[in-house]
């Protein structure tokens, strides 16, 4: 297994899986993890599959929970975790044996999703979150989840994030790759959802998702799903499922704050200026509507 320790300029490292020049999170429970990840484009889809695509720390758990309730037509807490249906963290055999309808999720760029999935025009939910909040959330994730073996400071982490030396690679490359896909195939059944919109008006966005998925439901059902998927409610319920031994200090931190604009508590003026310069350079032709605060 090509597990590598990716250093920053001060020598602090992040332990990742490298597959054909891309970084992924390691997963010791998946035998031959490298080749499993490499084989993802060849996996066979089903017509009723739904795929959630997002860059790490962009609300994937949240959207997976909402979508699973809508697809099942049950306003009940989903007993598992989204990692149980995450393409790059499971074996193909598990993928093949998941019961239909499958609500899958992934952090890979569109060019690495199963080709059969795109050929069948399976529905895609694409979640986008502003990258300043993503970087802060990702830093805390890396610092607290023991598998990463990361002890570096925020000051050198931000340049790492901007370079894309993290699992999932560059936020800019990821976001532009999906934007390009949407522009190239404008009639593909994909729904873009902004994390900030989900925070400001969750009922409206969940109703929009239900309409896209063609799920028959009434207002009462949607209100119940919205209540169950409130961030603080979900954090309390879902963190009981996490293995605390995987986390520094013995306390799960998969669901941290879920706020918009928390980056303001972390960024210095200089860091914000650096980020804005990189953002302006990389996204100057982008039509993705990023909001850094509400």
pLDDT per residue rounded down to tens, the chain (294 residues):
589 999 999 999 999 999 999 999 999 899 999 999 999 999 999 999 999 999 999 999 999 999 999 999 999 887 778 889 999 999 999 999 999 999 999 999 888 999 999 999 999 999 999 999 999 999 999 999 999 999 999 999 999 999 999 999 999 999 999 999 999 999 999 999 999 999 999 999 999 999 999 998 899 999 999 999 888 887 776 666 555 667 666 555 555 577 899 999 999 999 999 999 999 999 999 999 999 999
CATH topology of domain 3-282: Rossmann fold (3.40.50)
Q: Report pLDDT digits (tens) over 128-180.
A: 999 999 999 999 999 999 999 999 999 999 999 999 999 999 999 999 999 99
Please say whether the dihedral angle defined by the alpha carbons of residues 76, 77, 80 and 82, taken in this order, is positive or negative. positive
Q: Rounded to the nearest 5°, which phi and psi values hold at 14? A: -125, 125
Quick one: pLDDT at residue 291? 96
What token pair was written down for 130? 């502003």
184, burial (CB in 10 Å: exposed 0-12, middle 13-18, buried 19+): exposed
Domain range list for the chain? 3-282
- Copy the structure tokens of residue 69: 């309730």
Q: pLDDT value at position 224?
A: 94
User: SS in 3 state form for 19-88?
Assistant: ECCEEECCCCCCCCHHHHHHCHHHCCCCCCCEEEEECCCCCHHHHHHHHHHHHHCCCCCCCCCHHHHEHH
Q: What is the pLDDT of residue 274?
A: 98
pLDDT, residue 257, reads 73
Rounded Cα gap, residues 34 and 18, in angstroms = 8
Q: Which of 12, 33, 61, 107 is the catalytic position?
A: 107
Q: Whole-angstrom Cα distance, residue 263 to residue 135?
A: 8
Q: Is the pTM of this model over 0.85?
A: yes
**Strand pairing report for 13-19 and 22-24:** antiparallel
Q: Is 107 a catalytic residue?
A: yes
CA distance 159 to 9: 9
């Amino acid at each position: 297994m090509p597990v590598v320790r990716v250093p920053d300029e001060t020598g602090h490292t992040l332990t990742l899986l490298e597959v054909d020049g891309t970084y992924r999170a390691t997963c010791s429970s998946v035998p031959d993890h490298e080749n499993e990840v490499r084989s993802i484009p060849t996996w066979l889809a089903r017509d009723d599959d739904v795929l959630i695509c997002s860059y790490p720390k962009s609300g994937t758990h949240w959207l997976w929970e909402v979508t699973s309730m809508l697809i099942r037509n049950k306003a009940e807490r989903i007993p598992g975790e989204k990692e149980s249906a995450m393409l790059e963290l499971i074996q193909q055999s598990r993928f093949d044996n998941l019961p239909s309808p499958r609500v899958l999720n992934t952090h890979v760029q569109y060019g690495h999703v199963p080709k059969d999935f795109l050929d069948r025009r399976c529905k895609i939910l694409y979640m986008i979150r502003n990258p300043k909040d993503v970087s802060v959330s990702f830093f805390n994730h890396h610092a607290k989840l023991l598998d990463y073996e990361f002890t570096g400071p925020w000051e050198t982490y931000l340049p790492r994030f901007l370079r894309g030396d993290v699992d999932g690679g560059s936020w800019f490359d990821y976001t532009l790759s999906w934007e390009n896909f949407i522009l190239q195939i404008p009639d593909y059944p994909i729904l873009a959802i902004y994390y900030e919109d989900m925070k400001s008006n969750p009922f409206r966005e969940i109703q929009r998702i239900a309409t896209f998925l063609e799920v028959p439901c009434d207002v009462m059902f949607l209100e119940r799903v919205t209540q169950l998927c409130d961030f603080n409610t979900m954090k309390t319920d879902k963190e009981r499922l996490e293995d605390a031994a995987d986390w520094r200090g013995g306390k799960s931190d998969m669901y941290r704050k879920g706020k918009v604009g928390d980056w303001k508590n972390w960024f210095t003026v200089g860091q914000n200026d650096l980020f804005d310069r990189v953002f302006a350079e990389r996204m100057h032709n982008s039509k993705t509507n990023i909001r850094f605060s509400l």
